Amino acid sequence: MDAPTSLTEGLGVARQTKSRFGCLGCLGQLALISVLGLVLMVAITGIFAPWGFYLGGKFRWFPEWQGFGTMHAKSGKYVIYVRFQPRPAGQHILPESGLGGSGYLCSPHHEIFYMKLGGSMRRGLSLNTDHEKISLYMNNHSSFLSNLNSDYRPRIELRGQWYNPNIVMDDHSSIQRSFEPDGTVYRGGGRNRPYTGEIVPVTLQPGSYSDFEAACKSLQ
């Protein structure tokens, strides 16, 4: 290989090589930080919310539960997917009964909404959460406009209890409040809209996002 024709050229090659390795070093550091953060989260959950590893009645290495279910309302069929973990609740620092995560809702028109999820269970849970009560709420965060306008409709509430490995719940009339009779999202002011009406049951069973997608595509 020919030597650099000038000192400036040689320094340029050295700087370029250093820059490339520098980028790789940054990526490695970011990956390490991510792994350490995940390990720390799992360790904290193991100390303060060990029940998170047994959600649904089965031990799992990562404290998370995910599942889906179909709601048969008067306005049509809706498929919902949830994914949640133990999270700090309210003003409390330690994650005891708080839940947090994400979800998706598929409407009768096959419109899919990305939902930010929160929820809670009672404090002082044992490792066996079977028959324990659970509540979940989800707000639409599908687009930048929904965040900009603070319009998080549709909003879904689910209340029920564990019947391992499933969660048997109802929507607390949130489908009726969030959707029109034709299955489109309600965008009105809500002053004359009754808060309580049709209550739609739903059973969430363990499943992945792929299962949710398949159920959404099968809606008639």
Q: Do 159 and 113 fall within a single domain?
A: yes
Q: Do 196 and 212 fall within a single domain?
A: yes
Q: Could you tell me the pTM of the whole model?
A: 0.78
Tell me the one-letter amino acid at 59.
Answer: F
Task: Spell out the per-residue pLDDT of the chain, length 220, in tens.
Answer: 455 555 445 545 445 544 444 555 676 666 666 555 555 556 566 566 899 999 999 998 889 999 999 999 999 999 999 999 998 765 454 445 799 999 999 999 999 999 999 999 998 899 999 999 999 999 999 876 556 667 889 999 999 999 999 999 999 999 999 999 999 999 887 667 788 899 999 999 999 999 999 999 998 6
Q: Do 80 and 183 fall within a single domain?
A: yes
Q: Do 56 and 44 fall within a single domain?
A: no
Q: Do 67 and 158 fall within a single domain?
A: yes
Q: Do 162 and 194 fall within a single domain?
A: yes
Please choose, from the candidates 197, 177, 135, 180, the residue with its C-alpha nearest in 3D space to the C-alpha of residue 160: 135
Which DSSP string do the residues of 98-144 spell out, in sequence order? EEEEEEEEE-TT--EEEEEEEEEE-SS--S--TT-EEEEEEEE--SH
Task: At 184, list the tokens.
Answer: 């489109």
In which residue are the tokens 């599908």 written?
A: 142
| Residue 188: burial class (beta carbons within 10 Å; 0-12, 13-18, 19+) | exposed
Name the domain count of the chain: 2
Q: Residue 113 contacts by C-beta under 8 Å, 6 or more apart in sequence?
A: 104, 105, 106, 107, 140, 142, 154
Q: Which domain holds residue 185?
A: 52-217
Does a cis peptide bond (omega within 30 degrees of 0) precede residue 201?
no
Q: Do 109 and 191 fall within a single domain?
A: yes
Q: Do 114 and 208 fall within a single domain?
A: yes
Q: Do 8 and 57 fall within a single domain?
A: no
